[in-house]
């Protein structure tokens, strides 16, 4: 959609490069952020995802929007944040159940840091669709 709008303002070679990069994005790795209270952290994750070519960002908040707005630190986008999020597909969820249903229905496995499981990050099969959960 963005390329359709931009195509009237950019050269054909620039459009071709953007299409090439869009096709090369990684659709087998996603990130899930749970109860982020500092938008600066979310913006940093979005920039990193964009730089790595990851496409899907899931945001999970168990709190009501009113409760969340009272604890969240809003950070206005800076110049470095300006374009990152528009290239990601972002989904917001209110319950872990709806988020996990969506993720699993789309064939993703969930990876999260759990210190007492005894499973190393090096044991994760990276040849499958993965959602890395942070929060």
Provide φ and ψ at 73, rounded to 5°: -95, 110
pLDDT tens digits, one per residue of 37-73: 888 888 899 999 988 888 899 999 876 554 444 444 5
What is the value of pTM for the model shown? Answer: 0.72
Nearest Cα to Cα of residue 56 among 135, 130, 134: 130
Contacts (Cβ under 8 Å, ≥6 apart) of 42: 33, 36, 59
Residue scoring higher pLDDT (50 or 82): 50
For residue 55, how far is the Cα from the chain centroid?
6
């Amino acid at each position: 959609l963005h390329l359709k709008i931009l195509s009237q303002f950019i050269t054909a070679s620039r459009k071709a490069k953007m299409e090439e990069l869009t096709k090369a994005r990684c659709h087998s790795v996603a990130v899930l952020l749970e109860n982020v209270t500092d938008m600066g952290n979310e913006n940093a994750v979005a920039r990193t995802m964009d730089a790595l070519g990851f496409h899907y960002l899931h945001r999970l908040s168990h709190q009501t929007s009113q409760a969340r707005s009272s604890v969240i630190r809003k950070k206005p986008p800076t110049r470095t944040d300006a374009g990152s999020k528009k290239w990601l597909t972002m989904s917001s969820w209110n319950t872990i159940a709806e988020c996990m249903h969506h993720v699993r229905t789309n064939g993703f496995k969930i990876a999260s840091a759990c210190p007492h499981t005894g499973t190393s990050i090096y044991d994760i099969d990276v040849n499958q669709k993965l959602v890395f959960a942070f929060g």
